[in-house]
Structure 1
Amino acid sequence: MKNLIFIFSMLLILSCKDDKRTTKNHIEKKTEKVDSKPEKKREKEEKKEQEKFNPIKENLERIKKEKILVNKTSVDLNDLFIANEKSIISVYPNETEIEKMKEEIGEEDFYTVADDANNYSYEADIFIKSRSMKSYSTDKRFIQFVMKDGDTVYVDTDKIESKWVMVLCDGYDKPYSSSLIDIEMNFEELDE
């Protein structure tokens, strides 16, 4: 009987050890699966987000889709600035637009916005000069670009959201607008 109890005890002990190993292995495998799934999923989601959010590409695509061109019959020749082929035009608000903005947002806020715009404009001008690019400034509503192929295109700056903006033209593709802040990024596209 003692032998039988001893054998039974040994079997019980051995079976428990085996269960512990199996349970331990099972827990480790389960932990690996649980840990690796979120990590792989997170990596996949991050990659997808990076592909989805490309601010340079997104910004240029949005800008180039802007409907800022108009036909010549829409142009007021008294409110027209004529530009050469490849150039950057800094556009700022005229007196009427300034008064309208003051009414809409208040005089104090207007001067805050104007101060910021002047600062960004200064920084953009420094960048443009460092690239030896032709640049001009205007408060005219319309800008005429004479393209390298002889065509003439007209930009209506009223169709651009911001009143302080730059219009870029390489002489081949249609002109497009750029915020003062994004000029370096958009200039690279123009410079290619």
Structure 2
Amino acid sequence: MAEVLALIDYGAGNLHSVANALKAAGAQGVKVTSDPDVVRAADRIVLPGVGSFRACAKGLKAIPHLVESMTERVHVGGAPFLGICVGMQLLSTRGLEHGSTPGLDWIGGEVRTIERTDPAIKVPHMGWNDVAPTPHARGHEVIEPGEAYFLHSYQFVAEDPHDVEAMTDHGGGIVAAVARDNMIGVQFHPEKSQAYGLALLARFLEWKP
């Protein structure tokens, strides 16, 4: 029987592209859903996200019992979880875009604007860039070195450096991925990262943390 993968629909993600990429990577039971009961029964959970941290956090928390069902399934049930772009940023304690907005606080840290230390560095950070796993990477069976597609103006600053799974360089180090226990978040877009992204999604589908 195929696993059920809950792709969270809260009005803040390019769901069609992510769903197609997951299917291309081998997922058979993808359910695009905002139903807490579906989430509680899912084998894996993917949280996408595009746009501002505040809008995404507001949209996610506006759906009754959705955050509670995700928390229950991931933290109690142990379901593997993948956050993509703003979906990764929402794992943080807070986002500082348009004021301070609480995140899920699953991985301590905050989301701040990318600081331009060099006038030649452009923000947003957009395009292909390296993904370099850290020496202490915990979810190394999912995140491997390569090149991925980024599009963001804000960066995840983790409280615990051991939660940083991979880095990239854009006028200085920027967190490319975070991980803790059965949770992984990637700042880049696997669904736009061609062969590298599909291989990463395939590893996530097989991941047994």
**Range into which the TM-score falls when normalised by the shorter chain:** under 0.3
Greater C-alpha radius of gyration:
1
Higher relative contact order (CA 8 A, sep 6+): 1
Q: Higher helix share goes to which structure?
A: 1
What's the TM-score once normalised by structure 1's chain length? 0.24
What's the TM-score once normalised by structure 2's chain length? 0.23
